[in-house]
Amino acid sequence: GPFDYANGISQMEHKMPHIKGLSVADELRKRIPNSENLEFRFVNDANSFALGEAYFGGAKDADRVVVLAIGTGLGSGFIADHQIVESGETVPPDGEVWNLPYGDDIADAQFSTRGITGRYEKLTGVKMPGVKEIAQIYDTDPAARQTLDAFGWELADFTAPLIKQFQCKDILIGGNIARCLNLFGPKMEEGYKAAGLDV
């Protein structure tokens, strides 16, 4: 997001700006044969991921769970009783966290591929192509270790208030960045303990 899900029109400026204002349904109809009568429904990718996990995956036994999809950006889904929660006092507006402030920017800039590679570049002056490359040198490069450890700690710092507000004890992490959860996860767990949470 932001995205006009009812009409299938992107409103994003912070990523994929080239499709801003575009009717994705119209563009799909141009490319899919015999699709003029097809109904398209648009759902935030993080919410789709969250629902899938709530019904069939890692969150199927959780009453309430905060789901994060971390990759090119930061997606979120708040699930209660296997349903998406997008409004009310326990969640941010539209259930979205990407635009919440964190540090000197928004969460999306901190908790994403560009956030991690940017953090590493600040420490070393070296621009890495992606998080995978930083993860591969975690054991041998102190800057890589510092980057991912800080990422884990700060992700816990950012999400702890969300978890408390949503009154849950489960968080599910997905997206490409989850592939190195074994590296940043321990610091994340330490961060939750420091915040008085058993997550």
Q: Summarize the confidence of residues 151-176 as an average pLDDT.
A: 96
> Residue 36: pLDDT above 90?
no
**Quick one: CA torsion of 20, 23, 29, 35, rounded to 10 degrees?**
140
* 1 vs 18, residue with greater confidence: 18
Q: What is the pLDDT of residue 12?
A: 84
Give the C-alpha separation, 147 to 143, whole Å: 6
Smallest CA-to-CA distance from 171 within 67, 92, 99 is with: 67
> Residue 186: pLDDT above 70?
yes
Chain-centroid distance of CA 151 in Å reads 13
Identify the band that residue 152 occupies on the pLDDT scale cut at 50, 70 and 90: very high
pLDDT digit string, tens, across residues 73-101: 999 999 999 999 999 999 999 999 999 99
pLDDT digit string, tens, across residues 96-135: 999 999 999 999 999 999 999 999 999 999 999 999 999 9
Q: What is the pLDDT of residue 127?
A: 97
Query: pTM of this prediction?
Result: 0.84
Alpha helices (H) in the chain, listed in sequence order: 24-31, 45-56, 107-110, 113-124, 131-136, 142-166, 181-194
Asked whether 67 and 172 are in contact (CB, 8 A), the reply is yes
**Crossing angle of helices 181-194 and 142-166, rounded to 10°:** 50
